[in-house]
Amino acid sequence: MDDLSLFLPDAAATDALGAELATRLGAGDSVLLSGDLGAGKSHLTRAIIQTRMARHGTVEDVPSPTYTLVQTYRIGGIDVFHADLYRLGDPSELIELGLDDAMAGGALCLIEWPERLDHAPDDALRISLVPEGTGRRATLTGPARLIDGIEAATHA
């Protein structure tokens, strides 16, 4: 597992990180996004999903699943699950949401508030977002294939 810390000074930098991650992520990957309310988890997730959609000729609104808990998309032949577990009452509800099956079954899973999971894939990409100055600090921990070279790619 590798670690990388990036300062994202504005929304455009967050979008650039999301766009780069979208090119690296695929079927079977899980991304666990942590941070306080307003830290940028939904913003980053939306950038990942919209970049993937654009690559496949789709344009669609990507709402935060705060109230639905999970939004699903079919993009480029794979299922993409966007989960916001902030309002999850109990980890047993994950079965009803299909998130456990999605993580085990080859979907791309983007999960906000992963501390509410009862378990997570060992090889998940973990992203912590913390406000810093006028922007945010993103700390990425995960497989080298998802992290190596990302700093250069997002600051080009």
**Does the pTM of the predicted model rise above 0.85?**
yes
Domain that includes residue 52, residue range: 2-154
Q: Is 90 exposed, middle or buried (0-12, 13-18, 19+ CB in 10 A)?
A: exposed
Q: Is 155 exposed, middle or buried (0-12, 13-18, 19+ CB in 10 A)?
A: exposed
Question: Is residue 155 scored above 70 in pLDDT?
Answer: no
The tokens of 10 are what? Answer: 């504005």
Q: Which CATH number is 104's domain given?
A: 3.40.50.300
Question: Is residue 22 scored above 80 in pLDDT?
Answer: yes
More confidently predicted of 115 and 34: 34
Structurally, the chain folds into a number of domains equal to: 1
Average pLDDT over residues 125-138: 95
User: What tens digit of pLDDT does each residue of 32-85 get?
Assistant: 999 999 899 999 999 999 999 999 888 777 877 776 788 999 999 999 999 999
